[in-house]
Structure 1
Amino acid sequence: MMKQKCLWILTIFLAAFLAGCASGSKEPEKIRDLEFTVVCEDKLPKELLQMINERKSERFEIAFSDAGYTYFCRGFGMQQTGGYSIKVNAVYQTDGGVVLDTEFIGPDKSENVPQSPSYPYIVIKTEEVELKKRAEKGAPVK
């Protein structure tokens, strides 16, 4: 009888534990796509450009609000050559923040690229949104 009771309690505990694990790994629910534009360096607010220049040698992510817009920046640190590009697959709002799905693309093997270091980054401008931000595939941004 006692052995059966312990087994029953263990089964309930295990079921509760597994249910908790399953709900924790759920992707954030997409609320809506955000309209965005990719902004070139000469159109950035000066304060944001300064922040980018201070961080560009390392990988970085910045969220910055100014004048009714939010700028999301993602940098990929120093690269040995030029020729890199960044593709934006999606920008959307979830119940937990904003997801930026980007793809870092290296230079084509047949492409003649500058042999000096480069600091590829992208700046995406959206309407002003709450500054909870999430990275690609919904992983939290640090």
Structure 2
Amino acid sequence: MKRRRILCVFSVLVLLLSGCSVRRIDGEKKQDLDYKTLDRLGIPEKLWKEVEEKKEEPFLLAYGDGEQLYIAMGYGEQESGGYSIQIEEVCETEDAVCIRTCLTGPDEGEKVSQEPDCPYATVATEYTEKRILWER
């Protein structure tokens, strides 16, 4: 019985560790990327549907069409209106596209909707298959 338990634990550990690997991401910025922010009409329909499904929780989504890479990100549901996402930087490293954003809230005294809101931002840049890192 004890031997069987040890074998079971060992098997689980092997399964868990076999899928893991360590890969260093070169954090040194190669270059800033040209990008444009998009409103609802500029977002591809397939990506928009995913944003709508996931917007109540923080999310990072990407969609590429071979020419453009569309990156959508959201901070999840906020207590009221008046929140927005500022894009601070979009750059490229050896291994990744990095995007840095900041969630800003309503100014003190600003009249905003008291209904919960789910702010998101979407940018488009040149297509790449590099992975996307989001710093918030």
Identity, % of aligned positions: 33
Letter in 1 for 2:129: E
In structure 1, stretches of 5+ residues that fail to align are 1-23, 138-142
Q: Where does residue 134 of structure 1 map in the other structure? A: 133
TM-score (norm 2): 0.78
CA contact (8 A) 1:63 1:131 kept: no
Give CA-to-partner distance per residue, 1:105-135, whole Å, 9 cap, x none.
0111120011111110000100112231112
2:86 counterpart of 1:87: yes
Structure having the higher helix fraction is: 1
Moved over 4 A (4+): 24-27
The 5 A counterparts of 1:113-124 are: 113-124=112-123
- Cα gap change, 1:27/1:96 in structure 2, threshold over 3 Å: closer, same or farther? closer
- Cα gap change, 1:111/1:48 in structure 2, threshold over 3 Å: closer, same or farther? same
The offset of 1:25, in angstroms, is 9.0
CA contact (8 A) 2:26 2:94 kept: no
TM-score (norm 1): 0.74
The CA RMSD measured in Å over matched residues stands at: 1.9
The 5 A counterparts of 1:56-75 are: 56-75=55-74
In structure 2, stretches of 5+ residues that fail to align are 1-22
Aligned pair count? 114
